[in-house]
Amino acid sequence: MEKLNLFYPQWQGSGPDLSPFNGAIELKKYLAGQAGWEEVRVSTCLVTDKKNDIFGYDDILLQMKEAARLIDFHRPQKIFTLGGGCDAGLLPIAYLNALYSAGLTVLWFDAHGDLNTPRSSPSGYFYGMPARTLLGEGDPIFLNLLPSILRPEQVIMAGLRDLDPAEAAFIEQSGLKLLSVKELEAGSESIIAAVESSLQSKPGAGMNGNIYIHLDLDVLDPEAFPHVPVPAPGGLKPQTLLSLINVLNTNFNLVGLGIYEYSASGKQPDTFLKEIFRIGIDF
């Protein structure tokens, strides 16, 4: 299969907050059009407890297994994911990284680091752990479901501005590449250079190498785009984000895109988001 459109409205990683689920449902309603979708069935039963230091553990595990089954059945070359919480990106990224022989560069657009482990997380909410899990540290059962893990030089964190102390310490220790909102607002040069540097770390990847764009919508400035569960001041302008994604899509081989953390607004999504969604359908 050339491309899989995966609807994965997982919300339990956000704790007892269904807004990422409802937001994913709304985006699909307004934007999915005639595109064909495979759907990960997601429980909407109330979550009240932790297991293995992770809130909603059993539901998340079952849903991860379902996502892995769907991806393995289709064996796509590309994946567009419309998710609930940003932890819905785990299986698509790990699969594509394995498919492209660990040559994938991941652009992680997010206000938050998502770099906690179950032990370091203040809340136990899994949406604060997916990037660290992809880098090989986290719950062992979850890790066993991933067909690959990433090296730090494969990941570019873009727009971060709200970190827990444990996340900041991990970034310093691991040498993860960070691009600030100020750098991104100044133009596309910094992100192009960062991707090229990442691709050079994988011999044979070339300058037209494979990239995945992980888009947590809270990377945006909430004054311009408030429709997210956990807003953080000082984010990107919507048109800047759209411009950067267009540049990345033009200059590199986009093999995966995921859109996460949208809160339902009850109205048609903003034009810039429609354009990003169109890229996801068409790439």
pLDDT of res. 113: 97
Q: Output 132 or 1, whichever has higher pLDDT.
A: 132
How many other CB atoms are there within 10 angstroms of residue 38's CB atom? Answer: 18
pLDDT of res. 161: 97
Q: What is the pLDDT of residues 234-267, one digit of tens each?
A: 999 999 999 999 999 999 999 999 999 999 999 9
What is the overall mean pLDDT for the chain?
Answer: 95
105 in Cβ contact with 156 (< 8 Å)? yes
Rounded Cα distance between 107 and 259, Å, is 12
Q: Which of 122, 114, 125, 128 has its CA nearest to residue 171?
A: 114
Q: What is the pLDDT of residues 104-157, one digit of tens each?
A: 999 999 999 999 999 999 999 999 999 999 999 999 999 999 999 999 999 999
pLDDT of res. 203: 53
For the domain made up of 3-282, the CATH class stated in words is alpha beta
Q: What is the pLDDT of residues 99-109, one digit of tens each?
A: 999 889 999 99
Instruction: Tell me the percentage of the chain whose pLDDT exceeds 90.
Output: 92
pLDDT bucket at 35, cuts 50 / 70 / 90: confident
> Across the strands, what pairs with 177?
156
What are the structure tokens assigned to 232, written together?
Answer: 């953080």
214 in Cβ contact with 89 (< 8 Å)? yes
pLDDT of res. 206: 47
Question: What residues contact residue 229 under an 8 Å CB cut-off, 6+ apart?
Answer: 14, 17, 19, 20, 23, 218, 261, 263
Rounded Cα distance between 43 and 59, Å, is 7
Cα dihedral 225→170→168→56 (10° resolution): 50
Instruction: Tell whether the model's pLDDT for residue 205 goes beyond 60.
Output: no
72 in Cβ contact with 146 (< 8 Å)? no
| Mean of pLDDT values over 64-82 | 98
| Mean of pLDDT values over 33-47 | 92
Rounded Cα distance between 92 and 104, Å, is 12
Question: What's this model's pTM, rounded to 2 decimal places?
Answer: 0.96
Q: List the chain domain ranges.
A: 3-282
Handedness of CA 31, 155, 239, 77 (dihedral sign): negative
